[in-house]
Structure formats: structure tokens, C-alpha cells
Amino acid sequence: MTNQCDTPEVPLLPYDEALVALTSRVTTLVGTTQKPLMQALGEILAETQQAGINVPPADNSAMDGYAFNTDAINDNGDTVLPVSQRIAAGETGANLTTGTAARIFTGAPIPPGANAVIMQEQVALEDGHIHFQRDLQPGNNIRPKGNDIQSGDTILQKGCRLRAQDIGLAASVGLQNLPVYEKLRVGMFFTGDELVEPGQPLAAGKIYDSNRYTLYGLLKSLGCEIVDLGLVGDTLEATKAAMLEASTKADLVVTCGGVSVGEEDHVRIAIETLGDLFLWRLRIKPGKPLAFGQINNTSFIGLPGNPVSVFATFCLFVSPLIKTLQGRQWQKPQGVAVKAAFDWPKPDSRREFLRARLETDDHGEPAVSIYDNQDSGVLTSTVWGQGFVEIAEGQTVRAGELVNYLSYSQFLE
Ligand code: AMP
Ligand code: MG
């Protein structure tokens, strides 16, 4: 039987068009909730945050030392100042008596009347007086009020995924809770009569199911809640039943396998029967038979079964789809131009995403290498790799030329 989709009349959809087609069909799906900062870590911020205070709230000392006024500096030599008070972090000092210095510690507020701090290592202390020869300027060793954040400043943008430093910044302005989007529920199942779970004996003709674990990890890395429906046999009935169940339990359904054109591939037909298929088959390698559609109001994305295709198409398509549904701000990763440490002499009509690693060449310059075996069944390539080299349709590469390198982390953080 000839495959209609390989004929020129039914062109495969190019990467950029597929990405737009996919992400423009969906919007933020999840509601919002308030979470304490620590629980908000890794979640998506639902409202832009402004600071209600200055950070630091007052001028304070950047050093352990002595606060004084630069008017008291003796231009002709030694400056000698009696120490009139002591201010530790957490205390407030009194007005500085003219012609004196205040013992002060890092983070303690500068007393009114002082305008500089000299480091303790730069003075000699004798009989309750400090002696020094240096010339200091107003503001030296003082962290001014609002140096980090001024009241009213925007500190965090809606749609960001909250990282350690983000919740730290929120805490620094006194926020206890943050409004975040609720977790996206992603249903997943895996088709293939050949699949066996790890821990079971491997009968002849069977292979261990790896996609379930890869996909679990990928979904977790994007902060999703997972509805795992496990393995599904290669029949249309079983596939339809799993699809329906997943669509009622999740905001998005992701499957692996059974999207190709073989007699044992039922996922695409199940979607067409139960809902709508929006796109199928892309001009990319690996991952050509990817399918995208909808059942009831649940988005569905069917990934090919080959383990490398799962990893690559998740990065390229599922990640942006999930980010859009999660209310996250995202941009298509652009990659960086790096010298190729390999030849790629055979052009392909599909855009290729080779598993690759950043290394250095003989001159210590950055160069990108690719895994020897780029077969879509060789999962080792994804473990060896740290990113993809993107090879455009019809492109060939000679060692030393620049290629586009996209690190995995851009897709998965
Ligand atoms: P399919 O897309 O169903 O034709 O599967 C393509 C290839 O991927 C076949 O060699 C399958 O055996 C393999 N495959 C499918 N699902 C999995 C899985 N969950 N784990 C490992 N390999 C799989
Ligand atoms: Mg299959």
C-alpha cells in the first residue's frame, strides 16, 4: 500500500508552522491560587508583583567599621575621632555627635549625621579613639536605602516560573504568599503490545517500556501533575477507551506510540473518531508522525513511539504547548551559533535535531560534537547529549562551520 502522506500533494508541516499551529490553538487553562512562598517554588506566577517597601529600607553599612561624617576628616594627616556609640545590625543608632565616630557592623543603619563608613581594618583603635590617614568620600561603604528595590518597582512578572531567587526576592519585600496558577494535569498513556514494565521478565518479542519514565520525568520537570494511565494494547477499542478516560481526567493528554501509518497504529484514528485532529506529520527528524488534536475540550498530543522521538518532540512541541496552557511566558529557544566538530554530509528534506554536546576544540575554542549513532531508537544519544544541533532542511555541514546549538535546559526548565 502506498502512503498518501509521502506524496508531494500532502506536504509535511515544517517546524515553525507546526509550532505556531499548536500553540496558537490553546490559551491558559488553569485557575489561580495563593501559595506560601516555599510551595510557590516552581509554580507559574499569576500576577505581576510590585514592591511595597524599599530594600534596603534604610541606608546601612556595607562593612564592619566606623561611621562618621567626611567633614571631620583632617586634610593634613591623621584623623582622630572618639567613638561615641555602637550600632549592631538590627539596632538603630542615635544622631551622631559632630566630630565623633560610631562603631558599626555590616547591615546596621547609618546614624543620622554620618555619611561614610571606614573599614575596621583601615583604622587603629586607641583609648576609645580611631585613627586613620585615608580620605573618604560621602557615601563610601554605605548601601543606600532602595539600592536593590524601590517601593513601587515591579519585582516579578506574571507568567514567570518561580525559581529560588524569585521567591527570595519576594521574601525580601515581605511577601508571604504569591498568586500562582494551579498545576496543569497531564494524562499520559503508552501504546504497544510489545511493551513490558521494568521488573517483569522479558519474554521473546518484548521490550521494556522506557517512554513512560522519560515522559514522567519531562512532565515533572515542567511542574505538571501527572495522570498515568500506563500501558494500552494495540487495538482501536483499547486506544479509544484510554483516550476518553484521559480526556476526562486531565487538561492535556500526551501519548507515545501508535501515531504512524501501520496497521497497529490506532491513536490518530481514535482521535479522528472521538474528536478533531488538527495536525499530523511534521517535516522534522526525529518525530515525523506527531499528531495534535482535541477531544471534548482537552488538547491531545500523540508522540511517536521511538524513545528519542519522544524526548525530542517533547522539547520542541510539548514543552511550548504545556507552557502556554500553564499561563507561562515563553519564547521559542533561539540557540547559539557554535563551530561544528563534525561533518554532516547528507542533506535531508526534514529539519533535523541531532543529539549534541558542547566541548572544546584543540585550540580551546567551543565546538559542538554529535553522538555517533543518531538513530531515533538510540536513547543513549539523549543521555550523552546536552542539547540539539538544528540542521535545516537540505543543509549540510562541514567541520568548522557554525551550527545552531540548543541546550536541553532551554526547553525543560
Ligand atoms: P510506534 O510509534 O508505536 O510505531 O513505535 C515506534 C518504535 O518505538 C517501536 O520500535 C516501538 O517498539 C518503540 N516504542 C514504542 N513505545 C515504546 C515505549 N513506551 N518504550 C520503548 N520503546 C517504545
Ligand atoms: Mg506501536
pLDDT of residue 41: 98
Q: What share of the chain is helix, strand, coil (3-state, %, to 5)?
A: 25, 30, 45
Atom of ligand 1 nearest to the CA of 265: 3
Identify the H or E element spanning 43: none
Ligand 1 neighbours (beta carbon < 6 A):
190-192, 194-195, 207, 209-212, 256-258, 260, 304-307
Q: pLDDT tens digits, residue range 337-393?
A: 999 999 999 999 999 999 999 999 999 999 999 999 999 999 999 999 999 999 999
- The SS3 assignment for 208 reads strand
pLDDT of residue 10: 59
pLDDT of residue 5: 43
> For a substitution probing ligand 1, which of 188, 191, 193, 195 has the most ligand atoms within 8 Å of its CB?
195
Angle between helices 15-23 and 319-326 (to 10 degrees): 20
pLDDT of residue 189: 98
The ligand with the least distance to the CA atom of 291 is 1
Can you give the pTM of this predicted structure?
0.94
- Give dist(CA 386, CA 356) in Å, integer: 6
Laid out side by side, the sheet with 225-232 consists of 225-232, 185-191, 252-256, 298-303, 291-295, 276-280
pLDDT of residue 6: 45
pLDDT of residue 11: 83
Q: Which residues of the chain have pLDDT under 50?
A: 1-9
How far, in Å, from the CA of 166 to the mean position of ligand 1?
Answer: 40
The ligand with the least distance to the CA atom of 208 is 1
Given a contact cutoff of 8 angstroms between Cβ atoms, the answer to whether 63 and 90 are in contact is no
Identify the H or E element spanning 112: none
How far, in Å, from the CA of 124 to the mean position of ligand 2?
Answer: 80
Minimal-distance CA residue to ligand 1 atom 17: 305
Atom of ligand 1 nearest to the CA of 231: 19
pLDDT of residue 7: 41
Atom of ligand 1 nearest to the CA of 191: 16
**What are the C-alpha distances in Å from 56 to residues 108, 145, 172?**
11, 5, 9
**What are the C-alpha distances in Å from 186 to residues 43, 227, 362?**
15, 6, 46
